[in-house]
Amino acid sequence: MNNKFFLYQPNRNLMVRKLDPPETWNLMVEDALREMRFYHVSRIWVIREFYPLLSALVERWRLETRTFVLPVGEVTVTLEDVAYIFSLHIHGQVVSGWTDSSGEFLDTDRLDILESIQRYIRCQIFYFLGSTLFADKLTVYAHAKYLPLLHDFNLIQTYSWGQHVLALYRASHYDTKEMDDPLNILFVWTWERMPCIVPVPRQYLPAADVPVARRWSHFKRISAWLSKTTTTFRQEIDYMKEPYEGVIIPDELHRHLEVCNTVAPLLSFECVE
């Protein structure tokens, strides 16, 4: 096991580094990640973002309604989208707790991976939080506020990490002209829902499977797409047709889908959306 896991940062963010590739995991690690409901997330590789596309989407975002205004109507990322893109638990305890900026907080709540398989699994989950689910523009940091939520190994699976992703996504647009984290959910949602601006023809992608984000982390982008500008994406969105296509919901999440129809605030640490 790689012992170099995270480094302190003065802004309470920790630099995350992947410990080992999944093919080298002990079977106990895979079983535990399944139990913690993070196994599907562990199968997602790096999702390469593209900021000319991001700029075109920002122009369509409306703060008042938290939706993208498109020629076909108003659309936005939903809890159901989170379920099929990341295959995350969407029903459970609120992801929240105490946040602190002191060095003492970090020293008290940091994770040690040298002594037990459970600590190693916690570190893997912390890596997923920083690199895939709540990734910033550099995709290398995770906020230290998540550390206390990983202390009790039996409680990790009870949190609604899917609702937390949606809460952060919606709150990240508040009073700003730019989008920050989490960006992975936005890019995968865009490519799945808007075939006119995908970075690679659908026939060259792996078959859609859970989590759907997995197939968008395995492709090689074509040079023609990489040469596109914000103006190009703007024009493609202007002339797009109906964006929504079929979705795949993991079997284990079907019984929780009723929560997708709930009208209630999204709570996430300091965010109430």
Task: Tell me what percent of the residues of the chain surpass a pLDDT of 90.
Answer: 9
Counted domains in the chain: 1
Assess if residue 249 is contained within a domain.
no
Per-residue model confidence as pLDDT tens digits over 125-143: 988 888 888 875 555 677 7
Contact 233, 56 (CB under 8 A): yes
Q: What pLDDT score was predicted for residue 13?
A: 64
Per-residue tokens: 233: 């994406």
Question: What's the mean pLDDT when you consider all of the chain?
Answer: 77
At residue 256 the predicted structure's pLDDT band, cuts being 50, 70 and 90, is low
Q: What pLDDT score was predicted for residue 247?
A: 63
Assess if residue 269 is contained within a domain.
no
Q: What pLDDT score was predicted for residue 210?
A: 73
Q: Determine the Cα–Cα distance for residues 59 and 56; give it in Å rounded to an integer.
A: 5
Question: pTM of the full predicted structure?
Answer: 0.80
- Mean per-residue pLDDT for 6-12? 46
- Mean per-residue pLDDT for 254-270? 72
Contact 138, 131 (CB under 8 A): no
Q: Which amino acid is at 192?
A: E
Assess if residue 93 is contained within a domain.
yes
Contact 194, 237 (CB under 8 A): yes
Give the CA angle between residues 218, 33, 1 to the nearest 5°.
80
Q: What pLDDT score was predicted for residue 129?
A: 87
Assess if residue 62 is contained within a domain.
yes
Query: Which of 48-52, 155-159, 259-263 is the least confident region?
Result: 259-263
Task: Tell me what percent of the residues of the chain surpass a pLDDT of 70.
Answer: 70
Task: Write down the H helix ranges in the chain.
Answer: 27-35, 39-42, 51-60, 79-86, 103-109, 117-128, 161-171, 184-193, 223-226, 230-238
Q: Determine the Cα–Cα distance for residues 86 and 99; give it in Å rounded to an integer.
A: 25
Assess if residue 13 is contained within a domain.
no
Burial 33-54, CB ≥16 within 10 A → b, else e: beebbbbbbbbbeebeebeebb
Query: Which of 112-116, 117-121, 163-167 is the least confident region?
Result: 112-116
Contact 50, 199 (CB under 8 A): yes
Q: What pLDDT score was predicted for residue 29?
A: 86
Classify 237 as helix, strand or coil: helix
Assess if residue 253 is contained within a domain.
no
Assess if residue 248 is contained within a domain.
no
Query: Which of 1-15, 113-127, 253-267 is the least confident region?
Result: 1-15
Separation of first and last alpha carbons in the chain: 39
**DSSP, res 143:** E
Q: Does 4 have pLDDT greater than 50?
A: no
At residue 17 the predicted structure's pLDDT band, cuts being 50, 70 and 90, is low
Q: Does 113 have pLDDT greater than 60?
A: no
- Mean per-residue pLDDT for 87-93? 83
Q: Does 180 have pLDDT greater than 60?
A: no
**DSSP, res 118:** H
Q: Which amino acid is at 257?
A: L
Residue 49 domain boundaries: 24-242
Assess if residue 8 is contained within a domain.
no
| 14: β partners | 142
Q: What pLDDT score was predicted for residue 248?
A: 63
Per-residue model confidence as pLDDT tens digits over 38-81: 988 988 887 887 889 989 998 998 888 888 999 888 988 888 88
Q: Which residues contact 115 (CB under 8 A, 6 or more apart)?
A: none
**CA 241 to chain CA mean position, Å:** 27
Asked if omega into 182 is within 30° of 0 (cis), the reply is yes
